[in-house]
């Protein structure tokens, strides 16, 4: 499905990013795994991808740094000769009550969650335009882009801004046959969730969700692989929820309540 293609995943060492990288490799792509901190996990992922018969490059870069992303794209094209898919997955989230949000926390969150997406999309798109045969840009967004969850003002705003950026890019890149789409996961069982929540709390919360469980990273990876495929060529500017009906269930009446 993706044989001969080269894909980049930012924040790709673990969680949703690693699942996207694995799904793309399973579909036939060679990978550039970007991460800024989890390099041991990135290397372990590279070995797993090699076991699938695909090549992978681990490249450390902070996507908030424009120059670093330029170096990331250059490393990808120098190693593989091209770039066909870019998944903007890296993010930063500092959770604070709205009355306590600091400008510094807002800036740190936007630096990765918005500006990192901008740098990745724009610089990858430039490489794809130069190649002249289209491409796929995928933003790992969140239902936070739609729902103003408490204690997440910085993250909510950055995710919403990144979605509108992606839609604008989809509009302008259509003549180049470069698709731009957003995946909006709901609550996914990732290592990052343990920063704020215990295993017991996660298990209890999962039972309360409409689907009766949290989502799995591989489910997001499978969707990313589809959007990167030829079968998804006519899909661009989309915002696709993968949340087990969490958003549509918000505000609904309990089943045992009339009306």
CA atoms within 13 A on the CB side of 59: 25
- Angstrom CA distances, 73 to 40, 65, 78, 79, 81, stand at 21, 13, 9, 10, 11
Active site residues: 155
Q: Check the CA dihedral 45-50-52-54 and report its sign.
A: positive
> Using an 8 Å Cβ cutoff, are 207 and 171 in contact?
no
Longest distance between any two alpha carbons in the chain, whole Å: 63
5, 85 Cβ separation under 8 angstroms: yes
């Amino acid at each position: 499905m993706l044989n001969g293609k080269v894909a980049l995943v930012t924040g790709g060492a673990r969680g949703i990013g690693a699942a996207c990288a694995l799904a793309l490799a399973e579909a036939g792509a060679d990978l550039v795994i970007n991460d800024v901190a989890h390099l041991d996990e990135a290397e372990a992922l590279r070995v797993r991808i090699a076991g699938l018969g695909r090549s992978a490059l681990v490249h450390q870069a902070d996507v908030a740094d424009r120059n670093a992303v330029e170096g990331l794209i250059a490393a990808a094209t120098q190693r593989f000769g091209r770039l066909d898919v870019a998944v903007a997955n890296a993010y930063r989230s500092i959770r604070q009550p709205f009355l306590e949000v600091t400008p510094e926390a807002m800036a740190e969150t936007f630096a990765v969650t918005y500006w990192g997406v901008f740098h990745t999309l724009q610089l990858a798109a430039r490489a794809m335009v130069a190649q002249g045969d289209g491409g796929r840009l995928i933003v790992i967004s969140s239902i936070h882009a739609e729902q103003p969850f408490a204690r997440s003002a910085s993250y909510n705003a950055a995710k919403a801004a990144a979605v509108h950026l992606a839609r604008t890019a989809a509009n302008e890149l259509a003549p180049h046959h470069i698709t731009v789409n957003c995946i909006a996961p709901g609550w996914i069982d990732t290592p990052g969730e343990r920063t704020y929540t215990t295993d017991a709390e996660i298990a209890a919360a999962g039972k309360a969700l409409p689907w009766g469980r949290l989502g799995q990273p591989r489910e997001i990876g499978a969707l990313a692989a589809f959007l990167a495929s030829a079968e998804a060529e006519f899909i661009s500017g989309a915002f696709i929820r993968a949340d087990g009906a969490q958003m549509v269930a918000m505000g609904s009446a309990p089943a045992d309540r009339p009306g």
